[in-house]
Amino acid sequence: MAGVAFRNISKVYGKDVKAVNDLNLEIRDKEFMVLVGPSGCGKTTALRMIAGLEESTDGDIMIGEVRVNDVPPKDRDIAMVFQNYALYPHMNVYDNIAFGLRLRELKGIFWQLSHYGEAQKIKADIDSRVRDVARMLDIEKYLNRRPKELSGGQRQRVALARAIVRKPKVFLMDEPLSNLDAKLRVQTRAELIQLHRKLGITTVYVTHDQVEAMTMGQRMAIMRDGVLQQCDEPEKVYAYPANKFVASFIGSPPMNFLDATLVQNGSKVYVDAGEFKLPLPEGHGAIGMVGKKVVLGIRPEEIDDSNLATNIKPTEDNTIQAKVDVLEPLGHEYVAYLNIGSLNLIATIDNETRIKEAQTAQFVINLDRIHIFDAETEEAIR
């Protein structure tokens, strides 16, 4: 077992495409780490550098205690699962899973003939490993089928089985679920989490899907334009995004952002968005910055119908009046598009609400959960 580390890793393509820029990231032994970010942020390049499929321009890649920059991919003891897992179409499931093991462990046919006893033992061992993994992934009954006779989800599990059967030090997964339909994706997501718990193999998982990152990662590393923005547990990233980019990337519907200024009124400091202002919680880091231009961030779930029995009591300070432009029913809740003069906000409101479209109503904001970002640097101020 081993962790993986990026130490000052950069990758430049051609003259000036900085796909990964001075990445420092430690993935712990047995950890499930998700690399997440929008298309082109460098996550696949980072993953391919661990595999040795891409050479870094600068820095060190460590697997366990070993610097692997110069170690060929086949000797890194990693297994990779891609979005476009290529199964051998002419082999059945059994042979697809066993193929890599036979190649590695059985050497050539002449060796097998001259080491008959030993070869038989290895074959029996491979057979039991293939069957164990097939059982674990519930594809045992398809071992004799060809890939084209399987559903997308079953094929995906064969690709996983092929990777798992090798018991590598590290699993690398690049959007392995993106070819599956929505329902199967959710199911396979859960299966992968369970599998990781069972096997305890260090896993680096690349996705652009923030829901996948939130639900699967023990920690998640958010990248943008080749630069690591934040690495932490999903709950922490959600509650304490390091900057406006991370705040906008994590959460659905996304966080509301309003241009604002910090103003003093009596003994309190407010964040003034023009149409309304909210007092900063006691001890907030922005209190000493009166006059500063900031961005106020409010998550939709921190805005609620003030008539509902929420745990926030409506007061003059935390209540705003807004017109409901659109109410989108999601079943358990509504997504409400609110209008306050020149400002628009999105709120998620419990389905018990009596509020109707086109109505003007009172809404409470959880002041303890508002976010303030420096308007210039976009860094969070706490």
CB of 49 to ligand ATP, least distance (A): 10
Q: Spell out the residues 6+ positions from residue 259 whose beta carbon is closer than 8 angstroms to its own.
A: 273, 274, 293, 295, 296, 375
- For tokens 């820029």, name the residue: 21
CB of 47 to ligand ATP, least distance (A): 8
306 binds ligand ATP (CB under 6 A): no
Question: How are beta strands 202-207 and 32-36 bridged, if at all?
Answer: parallel
CB of 216 to ligand ATP, least distance (A): 16
- What b-and-e string marks burial along 114-126, b requiring 16 or more CB atoms within 10 Å of the CB? eeeeebeebbeeb
Q: Which residue is nearest to ligand ATP (CB)?
A: 44
User: CA-to-CA distance for 203 and 32, rounded, in angstroms?
Assistant: 5
**For ligand ATP, what does the binding mask look like between residues 33 and 62, x meaning CB under 6 A?**
----x-xxxxxxx-----------------
Q: Are 317 and 306 in contact (CB under 8 A)?
A: no
In 102-217 the beta strands, taken as DSSP E runs, fall at 170-174, 202-207
Single-letter amino acid code for the residue at 87: L
CB of 223 to ligand ATP, least distance (A): 7
Q: Which is nearer to ligand ATP, 96 or 203 (CB)?
A: 203
- For tokens 């490993």, name the residue: 129
CB of 59 to ligand ATP, least distance (A): 16
Q: Which is nearer to ligand ATP, 174 or 304 (CB)?
A: 174
Among candidate residues 21, 147, 164, 22, the one with its CA nearest the CA of residue 95: 147
Among candidate residues 80, 77, 87, the one with its CA nearest the CA of residue 48: 80
Residues contacting ligand ATP: total by CB under 6 A: 13
The residues in 187-246 that bind ligand ATP, with binding defined as CB under 6 A, are 208
CB of 198 to ligand ATP, least distance (A): 28
Tokens linked to 296: 């106020």
CB of 251 to ligand ATP, least distance (A): 20
Taking the CA atoms of 244, 239, 367 and 270 in sequence, report the sign of the dihedral they define: negative
CB of 141 to ligand ATP, least distance (A): 34
CB of 66 to ligand ATP, least distance (A): 24
Among candidate residues 157, 177, 174, 173, the one with its CA nearest the CA of residue 165: 157
| 302-306-311 Cα angle (round to 5) | 60
Q: Which is nearer to ligand ATP, 12 or 184 (CB)?
A: 12
Q: Which is nearer to ligand ATP, 42 or 176 (CB)?
A: 42
Helix, strand or coil, per DSSP, at residue 235? helix
Q: Which is nearer to ligand ATP, 166 or 208 (CB)?
A: 208
CB of 83 to ligand ATP, least distance (A): 9
Query: In which element (H, E) is residue 210 found?
Result: helix 210-216
User: CA-to-CA distance for 200 and 2, rounded, in angstroms?
Assistant: 11
The residues in 1-30 that bind ligand ATP, with binding defined as CB under 6 A, are 13-14, 17, 19
Q: Which is nearer to ligand ATP, 44 or 154 (CB)?
A: 44
Q: Which is nearer to ligand ATP, 10 or 306 (CB)?
A: 10
Q: Which is nearer to ligand ATP, 134 or 221 (CB)?
A: 221
Q: Which residues, listed in sequence order, are joined to residue 236 by a DSSP beta bridge?
A: none
Helix axes 152-164, 116-136, angle to 10 degrees: 140
Q: Which is nearer to ligand ATP, 20 or 98 (CB)?
A: 20
Q: Which is nearer to ligand ATP, 16 or 282 (CB)?
A: 16
Q: What are phi and psi of 267, to 5 degrees?
A: -90, -5
Query: In which element (H, E) is residue 1 found?
Result: none
Interface residues with ligand ATP (CB under 6 A) are 13-14, 17, 19, 37, 39-45, 208
